[in-house]
Amino acid sequence: MRRVLVRSLLPLVALVVLGAIAMRLVAGVNDIRSLPAIERPWLIAPATIALFGTLVTYAWLWRTIVFAIDRARPSAVDSFGAFTCSWLGRYVPTSAPYVAGKIVLGERLGHSRGALVASVVYENVLVVLVGGGVSAAVLSIMLRQSGAWYLWPAVSAACAATILLIMSPSSQRLITAFARGVPRLATLPRYQLSPTELVRATAITSVSVVLNAAAFTLLLASFVQLSVSDAIIAAAAFNLAGAAGVAAVPLPSGIVVREAVLISILQLMVPVDVAVAAAVLVRFISIPVDLLLGAAGALHWRLSAGRAASERVAPAPALRDAA
């Protein structure tokens, strides 16, 4: 019954996701037409490579978290295929298909549902805390002459304190004690990451933050010449905006929120039209990147399902020999 339900809902979910992506792509084409001239188009290529690297690193992060709290050990190709295929669900409001896709495909890989749900929570929390905290720390130094500079160290300190709290053995013991008193949460301690595992996941998240920032900074530099300090501010602004977008769960891919935060910071150093142009361009380029990797993941799952079906219907070697 469950398999029939999944198969009946899957085409509908796929249509909704593709429809949302198509709408974003059409809107992006219209926005691209109004962009100012790109002075250094050759920077778009390395920026696109950095966006590819960012998504691959996100997949690596998710695989690392799941492996830390679950015994199943699927191949790297299977894990990356499940992640990239599910990633397209972020274009739908609330990103529900993204989470559901990870759970459905992750269970097919042998992971438990509890571990998969916990991995999604850890993944998003780390992206928000690491991206937001590091970026706010950088902006507190680079924009110390601005009017509201004191906000940045406050945000950075809050993010750092939250990460340390999550890593604290005391907080983990507190969660364990709390779970013992609530029968429905009895398995919660099983899905906690140890401090060492959290440090490893934080390091991988930092790699994704650097790649993501590099991609946007290169795209912004394709419009205007940036000084070193301007490039650092742009990188930090983009990651801080991305963290705000991840936190804005009801919106698809944090749209509107991310652009609002990004443009409000960038206009301190570049014209507003250039800030808007860079925000539009990074959104537009990320769509084919996501589609390509998502299609590769979907193709992998399709081929894997075909091979599994062939193995189920193939006669046993002993029967073939007897024939």
Q: How far apart are CA 125 and CA 118, in angstroms?
A: 11
* Amino acid letter for position 259: E
Closest Cα to residue 245, out of 237, 235, 253, 236? Answer: 253
Ordered by start, the domain boundaries in the chain are 2-24+53-302
Using one digit for the tens of pLDDT, what is the confidence trace for 292-309? 898 888 888 777 765 554
pLDDT band at 96 (very low <50, low <70, confident <90, very high): confident
Say whether pLDDT at 91 is over 80: no
pLDDT greater than 80 at residue 161: yes
- What six digits make up the tokens of 86? 């599910």
User: Is the pLDDT higher at 305 or at 275?
Assistant: 275
Contact at 8 Å (CB) between 212 and 239?
yes
Report the length, in residues, of the chain.
323
pLDDT of residue 257: 74
- Percent helix, strand, coil in the chain, to 5, is 85, 0, 15
> Quick one: pLDDT band at residue 270, thresholds 50, 70, 90?
confident
pTM of the model: 0.81
Residue 133 pLDDT exceeds 80 = yes
Report d(CA 191, CA 106) in Å as an integer.
15
**What whole-number distance in Å separates Cα of residue 62 and Cα of residue 115?**
11
- The most confident of 23-32, 139-148, 234-243, by mean pLDDT: 234-243
Question: Is residue 233's pLDDT more than 70?
Answer: yes
Q: Give all strands (DSSP E) within the chain, no chain letters.
A: none
- Least confident range from 48-62, 99-113, 173-187, 229-243: namely 173-187
Q: How far apart are CA 302 and CA 49, in angstroms?
A: 26
Instruction: Give CA–CA dist 40/218, Å, rounded.
Output: 10
Q: Name the region of 95 (left: φ>0; alpha: ψ -120 to 50; beta: rest).
A: left
Predicted pLDDT at 217? 95
Can you tell me the mean pLDDT for 259-264?
A: 83
Output DSSP code: residue 232: H
Residue 111 in this model has a pLDDT that exceeds 90: yes
